[in-house]
Amino acid sequence: MRFDILTLFPDLFSSFLRSGVLGRAIGKGLVEVRLTDIRDHAGGPHRATDDRPYGGGDGMIMKPGPLSRALKSVERSEEGCKVVFLTPQGELYDQSVAWELSRLKQLILVCGRYEGVDERIRESYVDLEISIGDYVLSGGELAAMVIVDTVGRLVPGVLGGELSNRNDSFEDGLLEHPHYTRPRVFEGKEVPEVLLSGNHEKIRHWRRLQSLKRTFERRPDLLKKARLGEEDKALLAGLKEHPPHD
């Protein structure tokens, strides 16, 4: 899978792209990330990429010229390519959007700065607008990193085994169960006995219950859309009858 990131701050991405799971995926050639500096496509003596808004008002707007030239400079795969503009006005991002995007061959991510971009860029070049949450970032770069990271993990081979992301929070619509590692006692707190039992069925059941409990306590909104089996529904009914905090 290939990502092209159009940004005024390409340096922001360097350590991000070298680290962890994503760094390894890039090293193995499973994921490719190319950066395009929008300023390289600006004209004039000052290479300006922003200008004042028509109609007046505060803030500066990204000029359409440099952005359209930057977009045209990106080599595109013939199919499975989408241009995504990162903006708080976009569709709210979640794991299901990440899965949809992971089926594409190429994503072109446009990072805005200043007050916004000239509307004609959105109209002529953008397929999809995405927001990573209801807050305002100083630019789309952090949002682009979120997308590259979350989508990159879903590319086959990136996490090693097909099973590796099946247990992640949100994959079945629930939050993850708690995790423990050595030592067995830490600052006086013991690892739950069941995890030391060696009984895989009991452990699976305990983890599922914890997962449901956490979701019920912290994000009950997720339960409406979660993929629940008969056992889950029974456990959940028990939780509703005897809420964990009672």
Binding residues vs ligand ADE (CB under 6 A):
86-88, 131-133, 135-137, 140, 143
From the CB of 117, what's the least distance to ligand ADE, in Å?
11
Q: For residue 62, with 0-12 CB atoms within 10 Å meaning exposed, 13-18 middle and 19 or more buried, which class applies?
A: buried
Measured from the CB atom, is 133 or 243 closer to ligand ADE? Answer: 133
Task: Note if 115 is an active site residue.
Answer: yes
Task: Using the minimum distance from each CB to ligand ADE, give the nearer residue, 23 or 53.
Answer: 53
What is the smallest separation between the CB atom of 145 and ligand ADE, expressed in angstroms? 11
The catalytic residue among 2, 113, 122, 153 is: 153
Distance of closest approach, residue 136 Cβ to ligand ADE, in angstroms:
5
Give catalytic status of residue 11 as yes or no: no
Task: Please tell me which residue in 40, 91, 94, 115 is annotated as part of the active site.
Answer: 115
Shortest gap between Cβ of 174 and ligand ADE (angstroms)?
A: 25
Among 4, 50, 88, 141, which one carries the catalytic annotation? 88
Main-chain phi, psi angles of 116, to 5 degrees: 155, -175
Question: What's the min distance (Å) between Cβ of 89 and ligand ADE?
Answer: 9
Nearer residue to ligand ADE within complex by CB, 43 or 133: 133
Q: Considering the complex, state which of residue 136 and residue 185 has its C-beta at the smaller distance from ligand ADE.
A: 136
- In sequence order, what are the residues at sequence separation of 6 or more whose Cβ sits closer than 8 angstroms to the Cβ of residue 40? 70
Whether 75 is a known active-site residue: answer: no
**Number of residues that make up the chain:** 246
Output 14 or 89, the one with its CB closest to ligand ADE: 89
88 catalytically annotated: yes
Q: Please give the positions annotated as active site.
A: 88, 115, 153, 168
